[in-house]
Structure 1
Amino acid sequence: MDTLGAWLVSIANTPDGARLATALALMSAVAHAAFGALQKGRHDPWLTRGAIDGWLVVISAPVALFVVPWPTATTFWFVAGALVIHFAYKLTMALAYERAAYTVVYPVVRGTGPLVTVLAASLIFQEHFTLMQWFGVACLSGGILLLALRNLSEETLDPHALRVGLMWAVAGGVMVAIYTTFDAYAIRQSLNPFTFLAWFFFITSLDFPILAAWRYRRMIDPPTLRPLMWRGLLGAFIAWFSFGGVMMATRLDKVGEAAVLRETSTVFAALIGWFILGEKVGPRRLALMALVAAGAVIVEIGG
């Protein structure tokens, strides 16, 4: 891990680092689409997230304690900050999923996130997008939000619950921007990026298993645990690729570009829904998915 970590640090902000960052961001997008689909369905969103985080603790603890180099005091403080920020993010997402449909919530969160992230990266990391890249961001975020509006038009939920769910979804998008920017800064301050990742997953996953256990005990008709735990185990492995991939991409290259590429997850989510879950897509959604993909390509070639 020392050698690999040192090599990754050595290629940061180089053409090789940029190419690897692009690949990692796209891998993260595919993984995050699968992660989102995993949270969709019959299980309570609080319990699902609790099961995922519980397994993340089990998987990450041995890596943090026995495999990677031990963190410095600075890294510990950054991990503590990440614990607070990611708890707020997970809280907003659970509240949004509780009140509105996945197909509405997910695009709103993912459409809001990159726009705010690019703005934050320009202030904190002095990253400046060209006009062409801003056009690409507009295409990507606009396409994602139009997907949300398209899905919203088909919803039959209580209007008040839907409005509250959308408010939490927008808050979730802002939290995505905050944690992306914070995590990018934190992993850049760590001597070994794998040390930060291992301790990040270990520490930031301690909260929701406690909440989920409390919620489970208060349920009148609690679900069977075995399917939930299997889903949690799969989600934990996917989370390592999803969140770990985009964090490593922000270590190697521009934060804003990695954030934009990662949000092509909405396209992959729609494709998963179409080919695996049997959901209808239709020509309008296909056109919007093409707009999202085109936005990501424009951001890449416009830099």
Structure 2
Amino acid sequence: MASFVVLLVLLSALMHASWNAFLHLSGDRVWLLGMFSIPYVLVSAVGVCVLPMPAPEAWPYIVASALLEFAYCFTLIRAYRSGDFGQIYPIARGLSPLLIFVGALVFAHEALHALAATGVMLVSLGIMSLAFRRGMRFSGESVPWALLTGLFIAVYSLVDGLGARVAGNPLSYIMWVYLLWNVPQFIVVCALRGGVAQMFVSKGNAARGMLAGVLALTAYCLVIEAFRYLPIAMVSALRELSSIFAVLIGWVFMKEQLTARRMLACALVSCGAVLIRL
């Protein structure tokens, strides 16, 4: 069972890197965020109708997660404004495994085996090193926003890991999070972009935005399910293998450089993942 769950998390990682690539390439990221919300709203509206209500203990987690996801999306947009995909994405994702490791130890009392803990450290170190430039310095005004994004990722992952366990039904839990997060988000984006009608002017772009939403919601549903079977820090670290996929996507589709340093960093992340699995 554990091996199957790990495969689901890796699939989630690929989907996550793919929708972030859509967001980075979009000419209007705020608009794409609104289109991105449509599949979330549709799926979650059905989900909350057919699934059992989460346990009362889960509602503080649901509300907190919705607020954190909303903030995360807008800090991510700001981070992508002037930074390379292959730099900003690893910064945002690389910070969170270490923070989650500490948070899970403090709040969920999850102490990982020494090998797994070492693996988490290697994953974070490898991912963060993907973002280094020549001379081992960060560049770009987007870096502080990427770091803030990583903080939001860590906090909402920890909240969701705990909330999914007390909700009774993890899928019901995440459907309510999706609804409470994406309805306000869609309303805000429509207000910023001239109303609902203007959102659908370009059908091709609209379809691409909604595809990004489908990838994103599917990816995180897989993670929420994985939280039931594996420690929060382990799932989160494996999920951050998406940074390797992000580097490859940046190289193939965005013509970003694939340097020896980045390949070494990818190898470091892979070694960390192996240790986590062992």
Q: Deviations over 1:80-123 (max 9, x none)?
A: 22211212212221221224332221110111011101110111
Deviation at 1:224, TM superposition (A): 4.9
Q: What does 1:1-303 align with in structure 2 at a 5 Å threshold?
A: 16=1, 18-65=2-49, 67-150=50-133, 162-163=140-141, 165-217=142-194, 224-277=201-254, 279-301=256-278
Q: Tell me how far 1:55 sits from its aligned partner.
A: 2.6
CA distance in 2, matches of 1:182, 1:154: 32
* Alpha-carbon distance between aligned partners in 2 of 1:280 and 1:117, rounded to the nearest angstrom: 30
TM-score by length of 2: 0.89
TM-score of the two chains, using structure 1 as the length reference: 0.82
Letter in 1 for 2:111: H
Whether the aligned pair in 2 keeps the contact of 1:38 and 1:235 (CA below 8 Å) is yes
Percent sequence identity over aligned pairs: 27
- In 1, Cα distance between equivalents of 2:236 and 2:243: 13
**Does the 8 A contact of 1:75 with 1:190 survive in 2?**
yes
Tell me how far apart the structure 2 counterparts of residues 272 and 213 of structure 1 sit (CA, whole Å). Answer: 30
Query: Displaced runs of 4+ in structure 1, greater than 6 A?
Result: 151-155
Measured on the aligned residues, the alpha-carbon RMSD in Å equals: 2.6
Tell me, yes or no, if the aligned pair for 1:39 and 1:45 is still in contact at 8 Å: yes
Q: CA deviation at 1:170?
A: 0.6
SS at match of 1:40: helix
* Structure 1: 5+ residue stretches without partners: 1-15
Partner SS, residue 206 of structure 2 = helix
User: Which ranges of structure 2 fall in alignment gaps of 5 or more residues?
Assistant: none
- Listed one character per residue, the Cα deviations across residues 55-77 of structure 1 (whole Å, up to 9, x for unaligned) are 31023212221x22233443444
CA contact (8 A) 1:121 1:181 kept: yes
Contact 2:55 2:166 in 1 (8 A): no
Q: Give the Cα–Cα distance (whole angstroms) in 2 for the partners of residues 43 and 25 of structure 1.
A: 30
